[in-house]
Amino acid sequence: MLYFAKWKTTLIVLICLAGVVFSAPNAIRGAADSLPDWWQPVTLGLDLQGGSYLLLEVEADEVVAEHLEALVESARAELRTARIRYLGLGVEGTTATVTIPDADQRGSAQRLLAGLDNAVEVTAGDDGQFLMTLNEQAMVERRNQAVEQSIEIVRRRVDETGTREPTIQRQGQTRIIVELPGVDDPQRIKDLIGRTAKLTFHLVDGRVSPEELVAGRVPPGTEILPAAENNADGPPTYPVRKRVEVSGDRLVDAQPSFQDNQPVVSFRFDTQGGRQFGRVTSENVGVNLAIVLDGAVISAPVIREPILGGSGIISGSFAVQETQDLALLLRAGALPAPLMVLEERTVGPGLGADSIRAGALASLLGFALVVVFMLASYGLFGGMAVVALFVNLFLLLGTLSFLGATLTLPGIAGIVLTMGMAVDANVLIFERMREETRNGRTLRNSIETGFRQAFKAIVDANVTTLVAAGLLFYFGSGPVKGFAVTLSIGIISSMFTAVMVTRLMVVTWLRRGRAQALPI
Amino acid sequence: MPALLNIVPVDTRIDFMKGRMVALILSGVLMLASVVSLGVQKLNFGIDFAGGVLVEARMPDAPDIADLRTRLNDLGLGAVSLTHIGDDDRDIMIRVQQPEDATEEEENATLAAVQGVLGDGVDYRRVELVGPKVGGELIEAGIWAVSLSILAIVLYIWFRFEWQFAIGAMVALVHDVVITLGLFSVLRLEFDLTTVAALLTLAGYSINDTVVVYDRVREKLRKFKKMGLVDLLNLALNRTLSRTILTSLTTLIAVLSLLFLGGDVLRNFSAALAFGIVIGTYSTVYVAVPILVYFDLRREAIAGEETVGPEEQVAAAATDAATEGPLAEQEEAPAPASETTSETASAPPRNAGQRSGKKPKKGRGRKR
């Protein structure tokens, strides 16, 4: 216990130096940009630097429902072509149902339905009812795809707003975490990512009279859609054909611009979209074309002439900001499913700065008091423990910086707590030395025994705390995770400094001096 | 440089075990009171668990709280609490508790409504919105974290010590956690995610304390095979007393500086920790250790547990020889004075030979 091989001494000194080197960038935080990637200060959490945290849920069941809706539409067409009579064709939740009243036609109907889509399972119920559901694998696949796609689109939308260094990552099955440092009002971003931005062009059903529209009586294949918020001048509802003539997927560009001094959004389709748009507008001159965004009609202008160039404009009573946002959303693409904000936490830069100040003050005071306490209790050896504590702080900060870990306010609390607990190992060792001296051992002997006997207790005690910290990391989220990280690193580095660094100092002191008695 | 300060008198011989009945009854009463309080008035869940909307704002001017409260209540959003926080009298905190079946859209609308009432020119220092779904999940994760950490710690102790120690540690841990929860319930302190973090930390701290004393108990068990358990536990407690007090004090100092200077955000966290350190230290001395008396500590198994290398065996034998003499005569010896440690191989060789001859027999006896 009282002998250190040369390589061991060197290693200990090197580790301590590495701690100092890696924590150094924190002292020159302002110049961090000019430092190499591996030599950066510790990242500050959103609660310290200010920013917004959003937890979003992808409503992936909508994708399934949408898929079934499409299935129902093709089933309608196929059943009609095959002259099979059907009742109650529709979607409820994640199941589509249809009833075939004629018992003779049920067999062929089932074959026909099963042939529509091989991802769909058709089961026969009572009284000629058939239930269609997506099979497990297709369901998982679609949901997964929806989440992946949503992440991509959220990233594009957030990037377009010019937020610096956003973090967007998946959590669990259907959730997305968005972290926006420096954003203190996430409302605009919430508005942007909260919108599906699904743009479709439909024909307005001219056969429906205003009376029928008010009464809600429309032919099959036509639905009633409300006017969008900005569309205050037109009628409150529109009879719109369900069939999508052209969809926003085909857009290659969208920009805010002006027409007759009114803010509008101009867009351009890709080749296929342009061709579809040209065909629809050629065949339906004089008919109203409804521009539908997220299930509401923005406007429904009359098609005056065929539009063959593949580009057009969306007009409505827009404000300038609205055209900018809409253009952005259209460029970034539609979300495959609606997103829901489950959790939002925003810390303003003022509170963040206050937290840093409070945390720093508490750390300094805690540190100073522990130093005084150790010096007063253990004299010279206490001084060595204090040096070890310093080394411990450098190691902790250096490791956090090196790992690119995030420092949160609870993380600062973890550092403060570590300082209190770090001296525990030294206290254990020193107390043991005192005890052994009282038992009549020589100086050398009691120092050696002190280190050896205390070691077992130190390991057991720290491993148990580490277990708690590990679970905290696993179950915690955000700031709490940051606390678990600093606590764990602090426990490990404090074991190293208390056992190795202090011992090295004591051994050196013992070898050089001519001490006769324990200085504590 | 000698030590300036000796907080703990050396070589104490406090009879901790004498008061064990009183202490166990006290602990029992505290736990019962905590459970009753948790059952009756439950915990004052913060926004993390209860869900809802929280807004901390710095108004342009010191606001008229009464007027603001009326206007907020007029929104008809549910339970709205408006409080003044911090040192700056422009700072306010608003918390809206949504009904349990509130949807995410409703919560978002609530936030917008509150921001509408506050008007323009407000510096939003903190805005939190937690959907009811997430709140429920966070409660679940918190319960898992605390239970699993207790379980993992207990398993580790079982692995390193004996099952009696594991049970003692578990009782002490549950004791600390329940009483801290009880304190939060009685005082209506806000219970949120950081409080769970504090609970886990105090579990780690408390067990740290307990393990150090248990380690000493085990050591003494090996050394003084004939000493009465009560005396032995007292001895172990006294020998670790100075360390227990010193470590608790340094940690408490650090936590108290957090409590008073760490700002509002950390207040409940530091309060839970500060209380946890006190209760954790108490439970080590008065719960974890005394409870060992009531278990059938198979002393021989524990004493012979680590008969690893021959070196240690000889050492142990020598110790036995050195201590057995006086102790054999007076079973309930108040040991500290006569205690000698493992390397004091000053025993008469004849005696040592006898003892090391006996050792292996014990080992075989265990296997049966």
B81-105 confidence digits (pLDDT tens): 888 887 778 888 888 887 767 777 7
Q: What is the pLDDT of residue A14?
A: 93
Q: Give me the DSSP letters along A325-379.
A: HHHHHHHH---SS-EEEEEEEEE-HHHHHHHHHHHHHHHHHHHHHHHHHHHHHHH
Residue carrying the six token digits 């075990």: B17
CATH number for the domain formed by residue range(s) B16-42+135-294: 1.20.1640.10
Q: Work out the number of other CB atoms within 10 angstroms of the CB of residue A351.
A: 26
Q: What is the pLDDT of residue A35?
A: 79
- Return d(Cα A191, Cα A169) in angstroms, integer: 19
CATH 1.20.1640.10, chain A: domain bounds: 6-49+349-512
**What residues of chain A lie within 8 A of the CB of B250, using their CB?**
370, 373-374, 420-421, 423-424, 427
State the smallest CA–CA distance between residue A154 and chain B in angstroms.
Answer: 19
B113-134 confidence digits (pLDDT tens): 888 888 777 888 888 888 877 8
How many cross-chain Cβ pairs, A to B, lie less than 8 Å apart?
Answer: 253
Checking if the pLDDT of B37 tops 90, the result is yes
A350-405 confidence digits (pLDDT tens): 888 888 888 888 888 888 988 998 898 888 888 999 999 999 999 999 999 988 88
A455-473 confidence digits (pLDDT tens): 888 888 888 888 878 888 8
Query: Scanning every residue of chain B, which has its alpha carbon at the shortest distance from the alpha carbon of A341?
Result: B104
pLDDT bin (cut points 50, 70, 90) of residue B33 is very high
Q: What is the pLDDT of residue A441?
A: 85
State the smallest CA–CA distance between residue A425 and chain B in angstroms.
Answer: 9
pLDDT bin (cut points 50, 70, 90) of residue B299 is low
Same fold, B16-42+135-294 and B52-130: no
Checking if the pLDDT of B138 tops 50, the result is yes
A81-100 confidence digits (pLDDT tens): 888 888 888 888 778 888 88
pLDDT bin (cut points 50, 70, 90) of residue B348 is very low
Q: What is the pLDDT of residue B7?
A: 61
Q: What is the pLDDT of residue B35?
A: 94
CATH 3.30.1360.200, chain A: domain bounds: 53-59+140-344
CATH class of the domain defined by B52-130: alpha beta
Q: What is the pLDDT of residue A1?
A: 65
Domain layout of chain B by residue ranges? 16-42+135-294, 52-130
Interface test with chain B among A173, A178, A342, A361, by most B beta carbons within 10 Å = A342
Q: What is the pLDDT of residue A359?
A: 86
B218-239 confidence digits (pLDDT tens): 888 888 877 888 888 888 888 8
B239-267 confidence digits (pLDDT tens): 888 888 888 888 888 889 888 888 777 88
pLDDT bin (cut points 50, 70, 90) of residue B172 is very high
- Return d(Cα A219, Cα A205) in angstroms, integer: 9
How distant, in Å, are the alpha carbons of A502, B46, B52, B137, B138 from that of B141?
39, 15, 18, 6, 5
ipTM: 0.72
Q: What CATH architecture applies to the domain A61-135?
A: 2-Layer Sandwich (3.30)
- Stretch 117-176 of chain B: residues touching chain A, C-beta under 8 Å: 123-131, 133-134, 138, 141-142, 144-145, 148-149, 152-153, 156-157, 160
Q: For domain A53-59+140-344, give the fold.
A: Gyrase A; domain 2 (3.30.1360)
Mean pLDDT, chain A cut into blocks of 10 residues (520 residues total) = 82 91 82 78 86 88 81 82 83 82 82 80 82 83 87 86 84 88 80 82 86 82 84 83 85 87 88 90 90 88 86 84 85 83 87 86 88 88 91 92 86 82 85 86 87 86 83 76 85 88 89 73
Q: Please tell me the CATH superfamily of domain A6-49+349-512, with its number.
A: Multidrug efflux transporter AcrB transmembrane domain (1.20.1640.10)
Interface test with chain B among A409, A436, A471, A495, by most B beta carbons within 10 Å = A471
User: pTM (2 decimals)?
Assistant: 0.75
